[in-house]
């Protein structure tokens, strides 16, 4: 049942007769383009958490006749398609039909529950087959695909994954721009995929995926993110490097989280480099505790700094690095000329000190990045690294390059214990006197109490001191 969002009230005329007055709901006074734009915002917010909710266009089209007509005649509103095990085929078909010839953004999420019996998991196979067949017929207008499928228990088997991936094997998706694949199950090998071609693909997210057999997806990438590749699916380093070579000319952003290739039987690595002329940001994260840090963390760091070169790299982020990775960075110091444009360095939860050694490697570690103009220290040994920046050893160091000359922005967040307030002030004042002033200093309130913050702002008047609580992106 639809309404017209109208209310009727009566007024009395001089003759005593009642005269009906028609009042429109204020929202009906909004121009059509404003209503559609508000809907677009709602749909964008909904895309973050669509599970269990009817798609917004269906909700909007049931409010009033005007809204229903507007929704049915605005094809772009129907392009965000979410499918999970509890979706119904009918609404999905309606959404695909009402989207006209607009490009589609698909989220496909088939995940079993750990408590489910194996029978109910396998009972979903026909539904998965129907859904994949329906959406595959519209592959010529896919714009993005976020595809997640796995069994929550090992005995849930591989049958559903085989069924879901089968339509993607030889598919051609000419407008597919962004692809995210997550297979959180010990599936032997997902490739080949999209052998028909993905000429517009420039963003690829791989979570727990075997990269062998999908090199055809790498040829035009500008953004590549690889996360948590299980041991059984990891390629050799040479195979991994071959995939990177496929996109070396176009790749601009590379992010690696956890181990993503097998370590070689022996060191040292070959000095053959892959040059990335367009790469501007590189992120290496080692947050997963379920793998062998002793062997793999140092190798991954060594492999990247000995095998990857980029004349345009500006941003380098290292996260959850242990002393093993820090030692590998120092060992690769001679090769850091391969990143001549590096200007922004982010160190999050980086620990440089060996728990059983007294030698402090903070100075040689920071000397690996002498020309950065923005340094972010978050957690880990951040206080130790900050103290090193304020030490006489750093200030009086003389080498091929004078370190710290370009440092203009310093971010200090979640540092415990906090550094000495007056040493920090002296550090900033000394740099100003030497003509290398810090322009911006970010500190968070856990590092300095309110009184310290006021003193710091007064003492360091030469720097733009940001005292608000530090928020992670």
Are 349 and 319 spatial neighbours (Cβ–Cβ below 8 Å)? yes
User: Which of 6-20, 188-202, 247-261, 332-346 is least confident?
Assistant: 6-20
Residue 178 CB partners (closer than 8 Å, separation 6+): 143, 144, 145, 201, 202, 203, 204, 205
For residue range 69-95, list pLDDT tens digits in order. Answer: 888 888 888 888 988 888 888 888 999
pLDDT given at position 471: 43
For the cut 80, the answer to whether the pLDDT of residue 327 exceeds it is yes
3-class secondary-structure state, position 383: helix
- Which is higher by pLDDT, 64 or 266? 64
Q: What pLDDT, on the 0 to 100 scale, is given for residue 469?
A: 46
Lowest mean pLDDT among 51-60, 218-227, 318-327: 51-60
Q: Hey, which residues does 374 pair with through a beta bridge?
A: 344, 409
> 281-318: per-residue pLDDT in tens?
999 988 655 455 656 788 888 888 878 888 899 999 99
Cα dihedral 366, 367, 373, 377 in deg (nearest 10):
0
Distance CA 394, CA 147 (A): 49
For the chain, first and last CA: distance in Å? 45
Q: Minimal CA–CA distance to 201: which of 185, 216, 184?
A: 216
Long-range pairs for 447-451: beta carbons < 8 A, 24 or more residues apart: 447/412, 447/413, 447/414, 447/415, 447/416, 447/418, 447/419, 448/418, 448/421
- List, as one string, the DSSP characters of 1-41: --B-SEEEEEEE-TTS-EEEEEEE-GGGGS-HHHHHHHHHH
H or E element, residue 331: helix 323-331
Confidence of residue 338 (pLDDT cuts 50, 70, 90): low
Average per-residue pLDDT in the chain?
78
Mean per-residue pLDDT, 370-399? 83
pLDDT of residue 41: 80
With cut-offs at 50, 70 and 90, classify the pLDDT of residue 3. Answer: very low
Q: Among candidates 277, 360, 271, 286, which has minimal Cα distance to 325? A: 286
State the Cα–Cα distance between residues 219 and 150, nearest whole angstrom. Answer: 27
Q: Which is more confident, 325 or 252? A: 252
When pLDDT is cut at 50, 70 and 90, the band that residue 141 belongs to is very high
Residue environment code for 26-54, b if the CB has 16+ CB neighbours within 10 A, otherwise e: eeeeeeeeebeeebeeebeebeeebeeee
Show Cβ contacts of residue 254 under 8 Å, excluding neighbours closer than 6 positions.
224, 225, 244, 276, 279, 281, 282, 283
Residue 459 has pLDDT above 60, yes or no: no
Global confidence as pTM? 0.84
Q: Minimal CA–CA distance to 82: which of 112, 60, 104, 64?
A: 104
Output phi, psi for 98, to 5 deg: -75, -15
How far, in Å, CA of 62 to CA of 143, rounded? 28
Asked if the peptide bond before residue 355 counts as cis, ω within 30 degrees of 0, the response is no
Query: Which range among 91-105, 139-153, 156-170, 215-229 shows the weakest confidence by mean pLDDT?
Result: 156-170
Exposed/middle/buried for residue 379 (C-beta within 10 Å: 0-12, 13-18, 19+): middle
Q: Are 393 and 426 in contact (CB under 8 A)?
A: no
- Assign 3-state DSSP to the chain and report helix, strand, coil percentages, each to 5: 35, 20, 45
pLDDT tops 50 at residue 5: no
Residue 445 phi, psi dihedral angles, 5° rounding = -65, -30
pLDDT for the residue 172 = 94
Of residues 236 and 102, the one with the higher pLDDT is 102
In which band, very low, low, confident or very high, does the pLDDT at 19 lie, cut at 50, 70 and 90? low
The pLDDT of residue 186: 57
Cβ count near 471 (within 10 Å): 7
pLDDT score of 48: 52
Sequence ranges of the domains in the chain: 1-78, 344-473
Q: What is the DSSP letter of 102?
A: -
């Amino acid at each position: 049942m639809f309404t017209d969002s109208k209310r009727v009230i009566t007024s009395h005329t001089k003759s005593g007769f009642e005269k009906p007055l028609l009042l429109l709901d204020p929202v009906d006074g909004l121009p059509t383009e404003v209503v559609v734009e508000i809907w677009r915002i709602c749909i964008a917010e909904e895309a973050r958490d669509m599970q269990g909710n009817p798609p917004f266009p269906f909700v909007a089209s049931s409010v009033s006749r005007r809204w229903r007509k507007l929704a049915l005649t605005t094809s772009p509103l129907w392009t965000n398609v979410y499918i999970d095990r509890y979706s119904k085929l009918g609404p999905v078909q309606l959404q695909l039909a009402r989207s006209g010839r607009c490009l589609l953004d698909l989220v496909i999420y088939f995940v079993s529950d750990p408590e489910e019996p194996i029978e109910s998991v396998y009972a979903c196979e026909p539904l998965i087959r129907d859904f994949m067949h329906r959406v595959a017929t519209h592959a010529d207008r896919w714009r993005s695909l976020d595809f997640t499928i796995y069994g929550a228990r090992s005995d849930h088997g591989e049958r559903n994954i085989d069924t879901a991936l089968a339509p993607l094997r030889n598919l051609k998706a000419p407008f597919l721009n962004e692809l995210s694949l997550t297979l959180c199950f010990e599936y032997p090998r997902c490739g080949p995929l999209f052998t028909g071609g993905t000429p517009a693909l420039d963003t690829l997210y791989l979570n727990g995926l075997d990269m062998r057999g999908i090199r055809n997806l790498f040829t035009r990438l500008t953004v590549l993110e690889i996360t948590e590749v299980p041991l059984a699916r990891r390629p050799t380093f040479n195979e991994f490097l071959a995939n990177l070579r496929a996109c070396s000319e176009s790749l601009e952003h590379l992010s690696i989280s956890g181990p993503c290739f097998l370590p070689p039987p022996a060191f040292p690595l070959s000095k053959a480099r892959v040059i990335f002329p367009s790469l501007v940001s590189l992120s290496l994260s080692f947050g997963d505790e379920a793998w062998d840090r002793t062997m793999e963390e140092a190798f991954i760091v060594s492999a990247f700094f000995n095998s990857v070169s980029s004349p345009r790299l500006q941003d380098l982020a290292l996260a959850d690095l242990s002393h093993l990775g820090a030692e590998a960075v120092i060992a690769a110091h001679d090769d850091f000329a391969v990143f001549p444009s590096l200007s922004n360095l982010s160190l999050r939860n980086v620990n440089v000190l060996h728990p059983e050694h007294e030698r402090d490697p903070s100075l040689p570690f920071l000397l690996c990045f002498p020309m950065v103009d923005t340094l972010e220290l978050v957690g880990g040994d951040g206080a130790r690294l900050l103290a090193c920046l304020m030490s006489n050893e750093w200030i009086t160091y003389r080498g091929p390059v004078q370190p710290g000359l370009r440092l203009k922005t310093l971010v200090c967040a979640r540092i415990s214990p906090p550094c000495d307030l007056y040493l920090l002030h002296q550090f900033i004042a000394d740099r100003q006197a030497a003509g290398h002033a810090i322009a911006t200093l970010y500190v968070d309130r856990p590092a300095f109490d309110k009184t310290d913050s006021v003193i710091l702002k007064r003492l360091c008047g030469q720097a733009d001191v940001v005292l608000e609580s530090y928020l992670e992106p």
